[in-house]
Structure 1
Amino acid sequence: MINSPEVKELINLIKDSFRVRPNQNPIYIDFSNNLERLKAKQHQIIFGRRGSGKSCLLVHFKNTISDNDSLEIYIEADEIKRLGYPDILTRLLLSIMEKIVTSRNWWQKIVYSKSKLNKSIKNLRKLLDQAENRQVKQEENQTTNYSTKAEKGIFSGSFGKSNSLGKLSEFQESKLDTLERYLSDYKNALKEEIKRRNIQTVYILLDDFYLIKKERQPDVVDYLHRLVRGTEMYLKIGTVKHRTTLVRNEEQTIGVVLNQDIEPINLDRTLENLTAPTQFLSNLLNSLGKKVGLNNPAIDLFNPQALEKLVIASGGVPRDFLTILADAIENAISQNKNHITPTNVWKSASSFSYQNKLKDLRVDVGADAQSIEKVFRDILKFCIVDKKRTSFLVAQEEAQKEINLHELILQLMDGKLLHIIEPDTSAASNRPGRYEAYTLDFSLFMEPRKRGIEIVEFWNFDESGRRIGVRESPIYSLENAKNAISNEDDITTETLIDNFENEQSSL
């Protein structure tokens, strides 16, 4: 079974689906009616970790939903992430406007070449080339006229003289001032062009929004929201939840408010409810299997418990699930096995290891990487060296007080180096309060399996319906995270983990 031509074709299909490109139509299997939801005339933000299917959903929507009445504009934030502010706004405006003026029939480009929108495009391109601030000189002329009238016999005439006095004023003009001053003009030009071209709805699909500098995200989404509000243009933004800041409160509120200005769509299925990701990923695998002639690969390819271990190893993330699966199949074939075993899963999860996740994390968080990795190294030492357990608790009361420190834990969760297993639990041994429970990613300790470390099997339950080992987990204080950030630490995360493994091998 596992060495059949159909399974080999399945592996190729999986590998072809790893990277989503806007010029291709990816394989997208919609179990949650997200495609239909995206058609709604609402501004929406799609949350999901790397590999959860955000780009796949947006690109598939762009390539399949288009009809004569709508226009889909797909923008990758990766292409503009290095731009300063407000150049990033200028480039976004150009992407939207230029896509609209190049849509529909070729003759419209000629007939409407002098439209307001085309003029706006020309002005924005000039603005893009200017310095962020420039010195502007403006001359104001004041003219005084003198006239007289004379009459003599049949002759009459008037004689005049004028004097001009010039006053030169000088002031600073910034790009942002220009963009704000002409916002209403841009909106009106867009509305006029959309109506002229008989476009009923415009979907602006902004992918990987989290790559834009976090401190500028509220400004960007605020400007875009003001631009499209009251029009037939709708924002559809893909991003990672805890790498995204949508609002900033100053004298005025800058940004958008979830469930008020913009509707959230969550693609993440986490390990706190193992049934949900298992069902979803099984359906995903079976749907892919049908494309290559396999009826029920979610059952036929696995030994007992191997599928469950694959879901756990992937953290419930679809792309990670498929990546580990493809390698696990090849691993099982190399060992002449008929089915995938849990050992094949752990070996493959190790090859798709924490190094890849660290690399992605460093790209995603930018300047915050140093602080986040210091906290991660401290958690590793706390769990593996000090407490010798793979799970830990964080007090909810402390999380509410230390919001910024708690945010670093959540970003490690978005980076798939930690996984939440219980958002609200008590602690054993009469420890008061309520807690969040987390586990280290399984690639950190399953292959090679760490000796002397208690692996908390949170997916199993006792007779009282409680997760085994979770309430007994040690409490990690966010004060430890604060100290870790302030301490000088010149060791890399990779070196720290290698040291753990060397110590294990010497035992």
Structure 2
Amino acid sequence: MASKEKELNKLRVLIQENLRVQRGGADRVKYIDGGTALVDAISRQNHVVFARRGCGKSLLLHSSAGMLGDGNKAIYLNCEDFKRHSFPNVLIEILDALFGELEAHLWGWFGKKKKSKLLIQKIRQDLASLRQKEDVSEQQVREVEANGSGRSGGADVEVMAPGGAGFKLGAKQEETKKKEIERTFKTRSDKLRDLDNWLPSLKKQIAEFFALSSSVETVLIQVDDFYHLRREDQPFVVDYIHRLCKDVPLYFKVATLKHASILYVDRDGQPIGAQERHDYQPINIDYTLSDFQKTQGQNKRILTEFCRLAGLGANAVPTLFKGEGFSRLVMAGGGVPRDTLSLFLEALRDAQANGDGRIGKDDVRVLSRSNFERRIEELKHDSQTGDHEPLIKGIYVLREFCLEKKTSCFLIAERVLQQDDQFRSLIYRLLDYRIVHNAGTALTHKSHSGSFQAFAIDIGCYAHLRKLQGRMNEVDLSKADAHERLRSAPVLDLTSFQSKWTSVPSDAEARMTNEEVEH
């Protein structure tokens, strides 16, 4: 018994230390690949890694760096370091961080060559000079922001629903987003022009730098958490990185949230950014609830590896759960490994203190509310100024719709998602933040024509509520009949959404997190 407790404590430590990947942390558990992500990530090709928070984007980058063969190296940059920095200085800072990393590894990677050191120092000196150069249009930028036009924050955009009634989804949506990108280009064009003019010379210096090396042939630039950069700046940053890498032995590996990122725009017929399948290949490492068995299998493989390292054995996972405990854990985690593992630690602690040490369905249900609250806090932390308010309003509307219909899942017509950019953007961004989960695509409904996407509201929105005890029509996505049951789920249309949007209370977040809990 003492041995089992010791192994469980070791399991706790291993999981705790690996919930977040960062430099200087504990020895990392390697990325567990259910496909070809690791192979793709080490190849000499540009890639963008897409997944929700907690799915292992950072771990994939770090694990792949350790697999590189002779002559290939990786440099890691985290864009959270540059959060809220203004463009184009943020690009200069990213470039300086890149060449700073190269300078730090100069002798170990490239050998003690004075000319190599001088080249790197010259590049960083040029970047420092450009960084200090005053933006010619800075006063214009301040004036524009002072009078409220082109704000990066919380101005609202009116969206017309069928029938003429409107609802507001916030300033960061399609038309305003395009205007903000155009404003960014015009007001920052002077320093950006200097960067563009310098690019051929910079690439010549990079080529010369690699020519001096007798061992390093390729460097992969790993740009993590790209979504932390201001969305209106993102296409300009990735555009420059893409052009920097072209025809020199550099390749970018960008990791980001898919629906919180703008990687490509068309500006007056001029492409800005990097285009999927043309300029980079996508690596999607997200496991969603739409294929529950596959997602559950991936989460089980990850937990099994932790158990093995803790000395519990490769077959320990089934002994830690009872009944539908594990499938409910994966459901509560939205299929996201970090959320699933974090909930596992809490549930295991409670099960050891108050039960037989095994986790059941009810143990997970009790914890789902706190998990939902953490996701809202992450949303507020990650979203840009003013963005979180319309997102929280959107959560409130979706939650009220599901509580009213007493359903955990709902359908939205593909036609509506395709035709209404702002509505689609709101839904998909809530997917990124794991408030709603993808439960199925290309579904037909038993009573409505057309094709539909299915979504599941996070169980933390309702599982703790006394008033719904025994009354919630919950679709268990782990069951074989889940697909058929989704075909009868209620349909959320724009009219219903707009009607509820207009009555969202000012204290929506507090109402969602302070309701009476069922014990």
TM range, smaller chain: 0.7 to 0.9
Give the structure with the larger strand fraction. 1
Where does structure 1 differ by over 6 angstroms across 4 or more consecutive aligned residues? Answer: none
Matches within 5 A, 1:365-384: 365-366=383-384, 367-384=386-403
Q: Does 1:231 align with 2:248?
A: yes
User: For the residues of structure 2 that align with 1:111 and 1:4, how far apart are their CA atoms?
Assistant: 57
User: For the residues of structure 1 that align with 2:296 and 2:478, how far apart are their CA atoms?
Assistant: 14
Contact 1:286 1:294 in 2 (8 A): no
Secondary structure in 1 aligned to 2:294? helix
Match of 2:141 in 1: none
Contact 1:74 1:206 in 2 (8 A): yes
1:101 Cα deviation after fit = 3.1
Q: Does 1:242 align with 2:259?
A: yes
One-letter code aligned to 1:189: Q
Q: Deviation per CA, 1:480-502, whole angstroms, max 9, x where unpaired?
A: 445666x4855233322246538
Match of 2:347 in 1: 328
Match of 1:36 in 2: 39
Contact 1:100 1:194 in 2 (8 A): no
1:29 Cα deviation after fit = 3.4
One-letter code aligned to 2:367: S
Corresponding residue to 1:49 among 48, 52, 55: 52
Secondary structure in 2 aligned to 1:22? coil
Match of 2:106 in 1: 104
Corresponding residue to 1:471 among 477, 487, 491: 487
Structure 1 residues 419 and 181: CA distance shift in structure 2, 3 A: same
User: For the residues of structure 1 that align with 2:407 and 2:309, how far apart are their CA atoms?
Assistant: 42
Corresponding residue to 2:409 among 381, 391, 415: 391
Q: Deviation per CA, 1:293-328, whole angstroms, max 9, x where unpaired?
A: 112122111112211111111111111111111111
Q: TM-score scaled by structure 1?
A: 0.85
One-letter code aligned to 1:191: A
Give the structure with the larger helix fraction. 2
Match of 1:409 in 2: 427
Contact 1:355 1:494 in 2 (8 A): no
Contact 1:458 1:470 in 2 (8 A): no
User: For the residues of structure 2 that align with 1:187 and 1:178, how far apart are their CA atoms?
Assistant: 14
Structure 1 residues 488 and 472: CA distance shift in structure 2, 3 A: closer
Q: Which has the higher contact order (CA 8 A, sep 6+)?
A: 2
Match of 1:86 in 2: 88
Contact 2:50 2:285 in 1 (8 A): yes
Match of 1:132 in 2: 135
Contact 2:397 2:504 in 1 (8 A): no
One-letter code aligned to 1:427: H
One-letter code aligned to 2:429: Q
Contact 2:227 2:257 in 1 (8 A): yes
1:110 Cα deviation after fit = 6.9
Matches within 5 A, 1:290-309: 290-295=308-313, 296-309=315-328
Q: Deviation per CA, 1:398-447, whole angstroms, max 9, x where unpaired?
A: 1111022111101111111111111121222x221111111110111113
Q: Does 1:282 align with 2:300?
A: yes
Match of 2:369 in 1: 350
Identity between Structure 1 and Structure 2 (%):
26
Secondary structure in 2 aligned to 1:222? helix
Structure 1 residues 431 and 187: CA distance shift in structure 2, 3 A: same
Q: Which runs of 5+ in 1 are unaligned?
A: 136-171
Contact 2:103 2:117 in 1 (8 A): no
Q: TM-score scaled by structure 2?
A: 0.83
User: For the residues of structure 2 that align with 1:69 and 1:263, how far apart are their CA atoms?
Assistant: 23
Secondary structure in 2 aligned to 1:214? coil
User: For the residues of structure 2 that align with 1:50 and 1:484, how far apart are their CA atoms?
Assistant: 29
Q: Does 1:310 align with 2:329?
A: yes
Contact 1:391 1:439 in 2 (8 A): yes
Corresponding residue to 2:338 among 307, 315, 319: 319
User: For the residues of structure 2 that align with 1:484 and 1:195, how far apart are their CA atoms?
Assistant: 63
1:26 Cα deviation after fit = 1.9
User: For the residues of structure 2 that align with 1:406 and 1:310, how far apart are their CA atoms?
Assistant: 28
Structure 1 residues 124 and 403: CA distance shift in structure 2, 3 A: same
Which has the greater radius of gyration? 1
Q: Does 1:501 align with 2:504?
A: no
Q: Deviation per CA, 1:359-403, whole angstroms, max 9, x where unpaired?
A: 11122221322222222211112121x322222111111111102
Secondary structure in 2 aligned to 1:73? strand
Match of 2:17 in 1: 16
Deviates more, 1:2-11 or 1:211-220: 2-11
Corresponding residue to 1:360 among 369, 378, 383: 378
User: For the residues of structure 2 that align with 1:442 and 1:490, how far apart are their CA atoms?
Assistant: 22
Contact 2:31 2:63 in 1 (8 A): no
Q: Deviation per CA, 1:447-473, whole angstroms, max 9, x where unpaired?
A: 3453364232242657xx563532222
Corresponding residue to 2:121 among 114, 118, 140: 118
Contact 1:421 1:458 in 2 (8 A): no
Contact 2:348 2:357 in 1 (8 A): no
Matches within 5 A, 1:80-229: 80-105=82-107, 111-112=114-115, 115-133=118-136, 174-198=190-214, 199-229=216-246
Q: Deviation per CA, 1:239-298, whole angstroms, max 9, x where unpaired?
A: 011111111012201111112211111111011111101111111111111111112122
One-letter code aligned to 1:84: S
1:184 Cα deviation after fit = 0.7
